[in-house]
Amino acid sequence: MAHYEIEIKSLLGEEKNAIALKEKMCELDPACACVATNKQLNHYFGEGDVNELYTKVEHLLDSEQKEKLKHIVEKGSTFSVRTRQKDDKVLFVVKAAMDEGNAINGVSRMEFEEPVNASLDELDALILETGFVYDSKWSREREEYTYKGANVCIDRNAGYGYLAEFEKMTDEQDQLDVVRNEMQVLLDELGLEELPHDRHDRMYAHYKANWPEYYGTEKTFNIE
């Protein structure tokens, strides 16, 4: 069964805004809790063939994982291929756009995100062998919260500074608009604005062109 991800990003920028958001969530939802913290390395890829990629990595996947990935490869149009090291765990990530955005920054996406028994370098090498190339590499520190039925990640990203991601998952494609509206209500009550797609695209383009300057550092930039 496909998993659909609905994700809305809000740029916080400075640490004081991240602190204020956490305080506001706890005020409005007494059950709000931090459920995880981790450090991540995220590698983004572009220009490859996802069908070849599926063949190259399928030996790392169990039967259920293969079925999920095959569905996304067959049904998706634009794809974002990523690898992630989350503390000591390595994840293989493929996202396919479901809305007016793209597979990197879209709001509604099909998502495959599964752990694999390989190092980050080994998984990267398999992807590069199928014609993909590095788009960029990211480093970030993440705090994950539960808030009124949504997952809220507050990240300190290389380049971007602090960013909040509000996320819900559904198995039902016909529920995407409903869940999208529910997420917007959460942002409104917290006084947050969605990061516009065009601004996010400009930010990503700048980061992509300059990522070696930011990866693994606390340096940030501001692009309007």
How far apart CA 51 and CA 74 sit, in angstroms, is: 9
Burial class (CB in 10 A: 0-12, 13-18, 19+), 57: buried
Q: Which residue has the higher pLDDT, 101 or 47?
A: 47
Quick check: 170 and 183 in contact, CB under 8 A?
no
Q: Reply yes or no on whether the pLDDT at 84 is more than 80.
A: yes
Distances (CA, A) of 38 to 93, 116, 144: 17, 18, 9
pLDDT in tens, 101-152: 444 454 567 889 999 999 999 999 999 999 999 999 999 999 999 999 999 9
Is the C-alpha dihedral spanning 96, 102, 108, 114 positive or negative? positive
Two structure tokens written together for 14: 């400075």
pLDDT in tens, 33-44: 999 999 999 999
- Spatial neighbors of 129 by CB under 8 A, at least 6 apart, are 56
Q: Taking all residues of the chain, what is their mean pLDDT, rounded to a whole number? A: 91
Average pLDDT in the 82-88 region? 95
pLDDT in tens, 178-188: 989 999 999 99
Two structure tokens written together for 202: 């400009």
How far apart CA 177 and CA 107 sit, in angstroms, is: 10
Average pLDDT in the 88-97 region? 92
Structural domains in the chain, sorted by start:
4-214 (2.40.320.10)
Average pLDDT in the 96-102 region? 60
pTM: 0.80
- Spatial neighbors of 54 by CB under 8 A, at least 6 apart, are 69, 70, 73
- Please tell me the predicted confidence (pLDDT) of residue 68: 92
The strand pairing partners of 79, in sequence order, are 96
